[in-house]
Amino acid sequence: MNPRRRTFLKQLAAGVAATSLSPLSTRLHAAHHASQKKLGVALVGLGGYATRQLAPALQKTSRCSLRGIVTGTKKKEKIWADKYGVDTSHIYNYETFDSIANDPAIDIVYVVLPNSMHKEYVIRAAQAGKHVITEKPMGLNAAECREMIAACKAAGVKLSVGYRLRFEPNTMLIEKAGREKTMGAVRYVQSEMGFRIGDPAQWRLRHSLAGGGAMMDVGIYAIQGARYSTSEEPVSVRAQEFKTDPVKFAEVDETITWQMKFPSGAISNSTTSYSFGVNELTVSYERGRAGLRPANRYTGVAGYLGNEVLAAAPISQQALQMDDFARCISEDDTSKISGEEGLKDALVIEAIYESLRRGGTSVAV
């Protein structure tokens, strides 16, 4: 152990007050306390994901604490204050949101609103001096993502996207196998994510709020799957669209299949849909295969990696995701799910939609 650190620990053990410590020790002491302090998170938009996943996950974090809420629904204020002990001084609505700048208890603003509102609230949060997490898809297009990245950079705050699966242990093993080529290079990836969507009146089916259909909402998981398993960025994409219910899906895509080519020669084939359930990842390496089924659920992500069985890990993906962002803030590190990562997916989605517009021809990403 570093002798200065040993001395510092001895002084701490002897109950020496911080004021009597050497300057270096004082700094270490302060750093120790900073790393112990939980960062205050304010959730913006208390819909299904914030209520059923993020708030419970925040109870399991070690570096974060649910300290604030932003809601347009008056009756949710008391419900959340009672359930999570959120103090009224940290409760905002969409009109008072900007005054969060004067609330030192809030370190991180987590935007959990419909897709078309992410950009505005990310930028307003950054301008209020808060670090920001935004839900996926980061923005409606690459230009929006670039604006958000620029706003956070200008404000000197960190930005990340809610890609919870990147902290799921089995997903991380497959990511590592691609990066380290432990079974040789990746040759082929099949990634799929779809579900049967219900209520025809919901915002996910309105283009102005969602920016697209299954592709924007859950196709992004299949893109992530292909990108994290290969550790490469696609160079081109070719896409096909299928619509069985032109009334329900009048404004947004229902089912899309697409193929991507990667610089190494690896290829991927993916499907997303709002009319059937599919939730799987398969990777073929030069030597052997890997798979996850389900690949994208909140719990139970399980499969195999070569001969190894990947049993579901009893963890909260969202708790690990938020704790890692808090760690990045405390250690001034860059999140692996930064704004740039969200931008990369937005560029792929744009190429997929462009390929559809061009009748399925190959489009460069």
Q: Which residues are marked as active site?
A: 136, 221
What is the residue type of 209?
L
Please say whether the beta carbons of 106 and 40 come within 8 A: yes
User: Could you give the C-alpha distances from 94 to 68, 81, 243, 339, in angstroms and in order?
Assistant: 13, 17, 36, 23
Binder among 40, 162, 234, 342 for ligand NAD (CB under 6 A): 162
Binder among 15, 48, 314, 359 for ligand NAD (CB under 6 A): 48
User: Could you give the C-alpha distances from 295 to 29, 150, 170, in angstroms and in order?
Assistant: 43, 32, 9
φ/ψ of 281, rounded to 5, equals -135, 130
Q: Nearest CA to 251 among 197, 203, 192, 198?
A: 203
Quote the least distance from Cβ 76 to ligand NAD, whole Å.
Answer: 8
Quote the least distance from Cβ 44 to ligand NAD, whole Å.
Answer: 8
DSSP code of residue 184: B
| Helix and strand element counts for the chain (H, E) | 13, 15
- Minimum CB distance to ligand NAD smaller for 22 or for 93: 93
Quote the least distance from Cβ 301 to ligand NAD, whole Å.
Answer: 12
Q: Nearest CA to 45 among 160, 147, 134?
A: 134
Quote the least distance from Cβ 37 to ligand NAD, whole Å.
Answer: 26
Contacts for 206 with CB less than 8 Å, ≥ 6 apart: 251, 252
Quote the least distance from Cβ 204 to ligand NAD, whole Å.
Answer: 8
Question: How far out from the chain centre does Cα 242 lie?
Answer: 28
Three-state SS at 70? strand
Question: Taking contact as CB under 6 A, which single stretch among the options 7-15, 41-49, 250-258, 276-284 is the one that binds ligand NAD?
Answer: 41-49
Task: Report if residue 168 touches ligand NAD, rule: CB under 6 A.
Answer: no
Residues 111-140 that bind ligand NAD (CB under 6 A): 112-115, 135-136
Task: Report if residue 47 touches ligand NAD, rule: CB under 6 A.
Answer: yes
Question: Taking contact as CB under 6 A, which single stretch among the options 46-54, 183-191, 325-333, 353-361 is the one that binds ligand NAD?
Answer: 46-54
Quote the least distance from Cβ 98 to ligand NAD, whole Å.
Answer: 16
Binder among 46, 64, 193, 290 for ligand NAD (CB under 6 A): 46
- Minimum CB distance to ligand NAD smaller for 197 or for 283: 197
Question: Taking contact as CB under 6 A, which single stretch among the options 40-48, 125-133, 181-189, 329-337 is the one that binds ligand NAD?
Answer: 40-48
The 66-85 site mask, x for binding ligand NAD (CB under 6 A), equals ------x-------------
Residues binding ligand NAD: number (CB under 6 A) = 18
DSSP states of 74-139:
HHHHHHHHHHH---GGGEE-TTTGGGGGG-TT--EEEE-S-GGGHHHHHHHHHHTT-EEEEPSS-S
Tokens of 108: 């991180």
Question: How far out from the chain centre does Cα 52 lie?
Answer: 16
Task: Report if residue 156 touches ligand NAD, rule: CB under 6 A.
Answer: no
CA pair distance 74, 201, nearest whole angstrom: 23
Contacts for 357 with CB less than 8 Å, ≥ 6 apart: none
Task: Report if residue 217 touches ligand NAD, rule: CB under 6 A.
Answer: yes
- Minimum CB distance to ligand NAD smaller for 3 or for 48: 48
Please say whether the beta carbons of 217 and 203 come within 8 A: no
Question: Taking contact as CB under 6 A, which single stretch among the options 39-47, 84-92, 244-252, 256-264 is the one that binds ligand NAD?
Answer: 39-47
CA pair distance 300, 303, nearest whole angstrom: 10
Task: Report if residue 291 touches ligand NAD, rule: CB under 6 A.
Answer: no
Quote the least distance from Cβ 199 to ligand NAD, whole Å.
Answer: 10
Q: Find residue 69's DSSP bridge partners.
A: 43, 91
CA pair distance 352, 63, nearest whole angstrom: 38
- Minimum CB distance to ligand NAD smaller for 49 or for 188: 49
Quote the least distance from Cβ 114 to ligand NAD, whole Å.
Answer: 5
Task: Report if residue 164 touches ligand NAD, rule: CB under 6 A.
Answer: yes
Task: Report if residue 188 touches ligand NAD, rule: CB under 6 A.
Answer: no
- Positions that interact with ligand NAD (CB under 6 A): 45-50, 72, 112-115, 135-136, 162, 164, 203, 209, 217
